[in-house]
Structures are given as structure tokens and as C-alpha cells.
Amino acid sequence: MSKVFDLSMLRINPQNPFPFSGSDADWNDFKKKLDRDPEFLEANKIAYDSSRDNLLIAGNKRVQALRELGWKSIPSKYVIDCKDWSEEKRERYIYASNWNIGQWSIEYADDEMAEEFGIEFDQENDRNEEYQEPEEQEYDINANWFLNIRFTNEDECQKHYEEFIEKGLDVKIVQ
């Protein structure tokens, strides 16, 4: 395997489900941080599919930013070919690459670093809040709860439908 990967080989995905939605200033800030710390790409690799003419699966914004910065190539360890992945695994990777979850612990957060990344804290309120264990809740077994799950293909939908039916759940398929 080559030690560098040519960025011009990658095709931006026109159906990217997570396009950039910030301001020009946000975009320039994103590019600046990517240019400063490109080794962070190894932790969240750019995924492409060589069987689909090198279509980007995850990393559209990062590749576009690198190109705008004038980068022609990146170390190969920052990319992964997902040609052998199932559609379901590709979907999971797309969401995992774009999913932010958690809550900042104000007590341990570095205010200057947080500010650099556009994270703002309500200093007075956030630093004085103490964690409280949530109260245990009782659930009415007869309540009407709904779960909506989207599948990328009919076979996968049918498979899960049958699994839920076997468990005695009231399920219906909606297209």
C-alpha cells in the first residue's frame, strides 16, 4: 500500500446526509483546525468505496476542506476503503463519524480550549450545578409507545419485522 493517498481520487458524495451548515467563518475555522491537527484524521478515518469509483462514504467535509487548503494527498493511514462493508455498516459509519453525544463537565473543561472550538458555557449556572441522580420512573405497560426505524432496503426491514413479530410485538411496515 502506498504511504500517501491522492485526494483527487476521491469523489464527493452528492447525497451526503450531513452537509456543512455553518457560516463562512465557521468553515474557515474548521479548515484552520484541520490544517493544524491533520493527525486527528487517523482517529476518524475518511471512508471511501473503491467499487463505486472512490465515492466518499464519510469525510466529505474534511476532504473538501483539505482540497481548499491546497492539500494534494494525505497519509494512507487516514483513509479506509469500505468496498467490502455491508450497506448497514456503511450507514453506521456515516452516523458514527458525524454523531456528537455527551455533555461537557464544566468542572474539568478548559475554558480557553472550549472557546477555540466554539463551545460556550453559562459560567455562573453551569459551574454551580451539581449532578443529581434521575428519579426512578414507573412505566404503564399499557401505554402507547412508538418506535420508528428507517431501513435502507426492503430485505433488512422484513428481517427485523419478523424478529419483532416473533417477540410478540405489535409491528407494521410503513413505506
Query: Is residue 140 assigned to a domain?
Result: no
Same domain, 17 and 85: yes
Q: Is the pTM of this model over 0.85?
A: no
Final residue belonging to a domain, choices 40, 74, 99: 99
Work out the end-to-end distance of the chain between its first and last CA atoms, rounded to an integer number of angstroms.
Answer: 44
Estimate to the nearest angstrom the gap between the alpha carbon of 75 and the chain centroid: 21
Same domain, 17 and 90: yes
Final residue belonging to a domain, choices 73, 99, 125: 99
- Position 108 scores a pLDDT of 66
- Position 8 scores a pLDDT of 95
Same domain, 8 and 89: yes
CATH number at residue 65: 3.90.1530
Q: Which domain holds residue 61?
A: 4-99
- Position 175 scores a pLDDT of 64
Final residue belonging to a domain, choices 99, 127, 154: 99
Specify the number of domains making up the chain.
2
- Position 31 scores a pLDDT of 92
Query: Is residue 170 assigned to a domain?
Result: yes
Same domain, 85 and 30: yes
Same domain, 22 and 80: yes
Q: What is the DSSP string of 36-94?
A: H-GGGGGTS-EEEEGGGTSEEEE-HHHHHHHHHTT--EEEGGGEEE-TTS-HHHHHHHH
- Position 96 scores a pLDDT of 82
Query: Is residue 119 assigned to a domain?
Result: no
Same domain, 158 and 77: no
175 residues of the chain, pLDDT tens digit each: 569 999 999 999 988 888 888 889 989 998 999 999 989 888 889 999 999 999 999 999 999 999 999 999 999 999 999 999 998 998 888 888 876 655 666 666 677 777 766 667 665 544 445 545 556 656 555 656 666 777 777 778 788 778 877 877 777 777 6
Query: Is residue 125 assigned to a domain?
Result: no
Query: Is residue 157 assigned to a domain?
Result: yes
Query: Is residue 175 assigned to a domain?
Result: yes
Query: Is residue 79 assigned to a domain?
Result: yes
For residue 41, which of 10, 17, 83, 84 has the smallest C-alpha distance? 10
Same domain, 93 and 18: yes
Same domain, 75 and 8: yes
Estimate to the nearest angstrom the gap between the alpha carbon of 171 and the chain centroid: 29
Query: Is residue 141 assigned to a domain?
Result: no
Same domain, 151 and 95: no
